[in-house]
Structure 1
Amino acid sequence: MSLPIVVFLDRTTVPPHIVFPHLPFDHQWIEYDTTPPDKIVERLCSAHIVITNKVSLNEAVLSQLPHLEMIAVCATGYNNIDIPYCQKQGIAVANVRGYATQSVPEHVIALMFALRRNLQGYHNDIMNGEWQREKQFCFFTHPIGDIAGSTMTIIGSGELGQATAALARALGMTVIFAERKGINTCRDGYMPFEQALMVADVISLHCPLNDETYHVIGDSELRQMKPNVIVINTGRGGLVDEHALVTALKEKRIGAAGVDVFSQEPADESNPLIAHADLANLLLTPHVAWGSDSAIQKLANIVMDNIGAFKQGVNKNRVL
């Protein structure tokens, strides 16, 4: 009997110094740095288990993979997997949860402080000689705000939203969880969506991307916010209308924005955020909020645990 074949389609989405533990069963391991769409079927035609982070596996691809038993998603989000088809065909799908509950919230807080205190602006001023021209021991070319006593509205109350809330409270912030958009009756501990936007000094997005949350923050929502609000998106790029966000920043209808996720990744100059990356009130990072070494190692461990559990007939972190 041949050994089960495990194929990792996009190993370079995880840094090379991160070690994936050995699986607790005999198998053939094949990994590729990246996999373009036209190579997916060829590389998975004999696979029993596939590991993927961002490679899309839709019905057109999956229908050509007769041996496939399991998809191990090397991330929390699984919108790149055709879940209805997997359910129909009995293909198991497992994702990774709870691995970045330190890394992502800390990144949110870092963006918040950097923007509220205008750290990048002051750095640039020093590089451009502003300090020397001022001839003083310090200078104030940008406003500097405090965080303590301000209000953070969080959209999405899962593990990451709750962990971010804990850090914000520790800093002396009031934390509000926004009810789902369009819901009139609020759950205990939630505020109506529009009201939660209006009272926020900082808004942090942590909800999944789906049909209901696509562009949950658009032009209308941005117009309801305070003029000094900071919008931080470490969730998914499609949660925020990027064109509307840039317009609001340029017109100074909102204070600032910190963005770690984009509608298409990697993003290029056709993306409005990249095209306007020089805005003083915009801070961009390349989808790395999740990426502390400890978080990624935990992710790798969970991926392999998920596969091991599947082979033992145990449901662990199963989507299906």
Structure 2
Amino acid sequence: MHAVFLDQQTFSADIELTDIKNQISSLTCYPLTQPDEVLSRAQDADIIITNKVLLGEQLLAKLPQLKLICIAATGINNVDIDAAKKLNIGVTNVSGYAKGSVPQYVFGQMLEYFSQVSHHNLNVEQGLWQQSPSFCYHGNGSHELADKTLGLIGYGTLAQAVEKIALAFGMKVLIAERPNRENIRTGRIAFNTVVKEADVLSLHCPETTDTIGLINADVFNKMKSSAVLINTARGAIVNEVDLLNALKRNEIAYAILDVLKQEPPAPDHILLTDQPHNLKITAHIAWATIEAQQRLIKILANNIADFIDGKLTNRVDV
């Protein structure tokens, strides 16, 4: 079988693809693929591997040789799944690969904020400790995670891994029920209660019609003025205009975003051109430790091997 990887550049340059190559006869890789290039590049492919390239019904209908689409991500909204079903094209995704990477990012950012690590390092680099009349130089101080409340929106594999670390730090963890749900499941807490009580609100839910704009002005109004928002899920879950206003008005203390609604963002993106001091943004890398990326490639390879063997591993079209 011949496979094409349409957007290899979404992975680090030093990620090995040997596991995938071992499952197929040939692999052609393209750094990135524009919409008008997909058809020509995939024309002779039995397998398409892609992270974010859009594969719609009209395009898929023009690829009669295509047997399998391997999405190199958990989210599947870049592929028309219904069209793939009609055309008898298998579709797989990957999950679980970032269960070490994302929680590490969440707590790396949380510790940076509450322990003020960079600030205290800079105090010594700038000679402030050396000039101190006391044996220590407190600067901005620091705060413990113990006894703080972590609110989780979404409770899949990643959120559960975050919870485990939080409990080790002595934090209280609240798992939010879906908004406006009257029947609260065992182990869950009403959404509005979690929002009101959380010292840190961490987002781990998928982007759906129900979650787009979920974190908005109404939510910010309910949150503690000392609360921190962390989003490693999807950018569209947060209303970016409402977030900017909330940060400027100090309705919440801080926000850490690894995702934005538009990726990559335009140079004039509202959160970048008018970025307040209490907002930090990273470039969608919470998932992307080298180990997590290599783990993802191994899962992709296993998906291909199982497809060839007639197994339905990670199939999202059945």
Give the TM bin, normalised by the shorter chain.
over 0.9
Distance 1:37 1:122, change over 3 A: farther
Alpha-carbon displacement from aligned partner over 1:59-94 (angstroms, at most 9, x marks no partner): 232222222111101111112111222223222111
Cα distance in 1 between the residues matched to 2:138 and 2:83: 58
**2:282 paired residue number:** 285
Question: Structure 1-normalised TM-score?
Answer: 0.92
Which residue identity is paired with 2:184?
A: C
2:67 corresponds, among 66, 69, 78, to: 69
SS at match of 1:131: coil
Answer yes or no: is 1:172 the counterpart of 2:176.
Answer: no
**1:233 paired residue number:** 231
Taking only the aligned residue pairs, the percentage that are identical comes to 36
**1:215 paired residue number:** 213
How far 1:120 sits from its partner (Å)? 4.6
Which residue identity is paired with 1:109?
A: F
**1:92 paired residue number:** 90
Kept after mapping to 2: 8 A contact 1:237/1:261: yes
**1:296 paired residue number:** 293
Paired residues, what number? 315
Alpha-carbon displacement from aligned partner over 1:95-148 (angstroms, at most 9, x marks no partner): 111111011001001111112234455566777x59389755555553632211
Cα distance in 1 between the residues matched to 2:240 and 2:130: 37
Answer yes or no: is 1:19 the counterpart of 2:16.
Answer: yes
SS at match of 2:280: strand
**1:57 paired residue number:** 55
**1:270 paired residue number:** 268
How far 1:28 sits from its partner (Å)? 2.5
Distance 1:81 1:92, change over 3 A: same
Runs of 5+ in structure 2 lacking a partner? Answer: none
Distance 1:85 1:133, change over 3 A: same
How far 1:45 sits from its partner (Å)? 1.6
Question: Structure 2-normalised TM-score?
Answer: 0.92
Kept after mapping to 1: 8 A contact 2:21/2:27: no
Cα distance in 2 between the residues matched to 1:229 and 1:316: 41
Cα distance in 2 between the residues matched to 1:186 and 1:130: 54
RMSD of aligned residue pairs (Cα, Å): 2.0
SS at match of 2:255: strand
Which residue identity is paired with 2:243?
A: L
Alpha-carbon displacement from aligned partner over 1:10-59 (angstroms, at most 9, x marks no partner): 11111121112144555231110111111011111221110001111122
Distance 1:143 1:253, change over 3 A: farther
Answer yes or no: is 1:154 the counterpart of 2:176.
Answer: no
How far 1:276 sits from its partner (Å)? 3.4
2:5 corresponds, among 8, 16, 33, to: 8
Which has the larger displacement, 130-139 or 158-167?
Answer: 130-139
**2:81 paired residue number:** 83
How far 1:281 sits from its partner (Å)? 1.7
Which residue identity is paired with 1:164?
A: V
Which residue identity is paired with 2:26?
A: Q
SS at match of 1:190: coil
Cα distance in 2 between the residues matched to 1:226 and 1:130: 35
Distance 1:191 1:32, change over 3 A: same
Alpha-carbon displacement from aligned partner over 1:156-195 (angstroms, at most 9, x marks no partner): 1110010111011111001111001121111100011111
Kept after mapping to 1: 8 A contact 2:129/2:137: no
1:45 corresponds, among 40, 43, 46, to: 43
**1:257 paired residue number:** 255
Cα distance in 2 between the residues matched to 1:130 and 1:253: 34
Which residue identity is paired with 1:75?
A: A
Within 5 Å, give how 1:113-192 maps onto structure 2.
Answer: 113-121=111-119, 131=128, 135-136=132-133, 139=137, 142=140, 144-192=142-190
